[in-house]
Amino acid sequence: MSTGNNIETEYLELNEKQEWTVHYQKIRTESSSNSYTCLEAIKPQNKSLNRYRDVSPYDHSRIVLKRGSSDYINANLVKVEKANRRYILTQGPLSMTVSHFWLMIWEQNSKAVLMLNKLVEKKQEKCYQYWPEKMGKDHAIKLSDVDLTIEYVEYQDYSHYLTRTLRVHDGESGTSREIVQFHYTTWPDFGVPGSPTVFLEFLKKVRAAGVLEEDVGPAVVHCSAGIGRSGTFCLVDSCLVLLQIEKFGVNSVSVKDILLEMRQYRMGLIQTAEQLRFSYLAIIEGAKKLSQSCNDKENCNSEIITNNDSIEETNSIEEEEDEPPPLPPPRLDSLNRNPIDRPLPKIPVSTSLLDFPYKDDDGEEIQTPPSGPLPVIPVDDREDEEESSTDELEEENTRPDSPISEKSAPITLLNNSISPDAELRHRKRIERKEHLAAQVREMKRRQQANEHWTQLKRPKTALPD
DSSP 230-292: HHHHHHHHHHHHHHHHTTS-TTS--HHHHHHHHTTTSTT-S-SHHHHHHHHHHHHHHHHHHHH
Q: Label residues 140-170 b or e (16+ Cβ within 10 Å = b).
A: bbebeebbbbbbbbeeeeeebbebbebbbbb
Say if CB 225 and CB 51 are below 8 A apart. yes
* Other Cβ atoms closer than 10 A to 401: 6
**pTM of the predicted model, to two decimals?**
0.64
CATH of range 7-300; options 3.90.1150.10, 3.30.70.260, 3.90.190.10, 2.20.25.10: 3.90.190.10
User: What amino acid occupies position 358?
Assistant: Y
Whether 226 has a binding-site annotation, put simply, is: yes
171 is in an annotated binding site: no
| Burial class for 21, CB neighbours closer than 10 Å (0-12, 13-18, 19+) | middle
382 is in an annotated binding site: no
38 is catalytic: no
How far is residue 101 CA from its own chain's centroid?
28
Closest CA to 229 of 282, 197, 266, 272: 272
Q: What is the pLDDT of residue 446?
A: 82
pLDDT of residue 440: 85
**Binding site annotation covers 271?**
yes
Q: Strand pairing of 175-184 and 112-115?
A: parallel
Asked whether the beta carbons of 413 and 377 are under 8 A apart, the reply is yes
The count of C-alpha atoms lying within 13 angstroms of the C-alpha of 60, restricted to the half-sphere facing its C-beta, is 10
The per-residue pLDDT for 198 is 92
Separation CA 223–CA 137 (nearest Å): 28
The three-state secondary structure class of 359 is strand
41 annotated to a ligand binding site: no
Rg (CA), the chain: 30
> Residue 181's beta-bridge partner residues?
113, 164
pLDDT of residue 291: 67
Query: Going residue by residue through the chain (465 aa), what tens digit of pLDDT does each one get?
Result: 333 458 999 999 999 999 999 999 999 999 988 889 999 999 999 999 999 999 999 999 999 999 988 999 999 999 999 999 999 999 999 999 999 999 999 999 999 999 999 999 988 999 999 999 999 999 999 999 999 999 999 999 998 999 999 999 999 999 999 999 999 998 887 778 888 999 999 999 999 999 999 999 999 999 999 999 999 999 999 999 998 876 545 556 899 999 999 999 999 999 999 999 999 999 999 988 776 665 554 444 444 444 444 434 434 433 333 344 444 444 444 444 454 455 555 545 444 444 445 445 455 554 444 444 444 444 444 333 334 334 433 444 444 444 434 444 444 444 455 677 777 888 888 888 888 888 888 888 888 877 777 777 665 545 556
Q: 227 a known binding residue?
A: yes
Task: Classify strands 112-115 and 219-222 as parallel, antiparallel or unpaired.
Answer: parallel
Per this entry, what is the length of the chain? 465
Residue of 38, 127, 223, 294 marked catalytic: 223
| Cα–Cα distance for residue pair 275/232, rounded to 1 Å | 7
The C-alpha angle 190, 193, 197, rounded to 5 degrees, equals: 160
Rounded Cα–Cα distance for residues 91 and 101 (Å)? 9
Strand partners, 77: 88
Per-residue CA distances from 251 to 43, 139, 239, 304 (Å): 45, 52, 12, 20
| 3-class secondary-structure state, position 425 | helix
**Judging by beta carbons within 10 Å of its beta carbon (0-12, 13-18, 19+), is residue 290 exposed, middle or buried?**
buried
- Please tell me whether 245 is known to bind a ligand: no
Integer Cα distance of 219 and 78 in angstroms: 10
Domain boundaries, the chain: 7-300, 332-418
Residue 258 contacts residue 239 (beta carbons within 8 Å): yes
Handedness of CA 200, 205, 210, 211 (dihedral sign): negative
Which amino acid would we find at residue 96? M
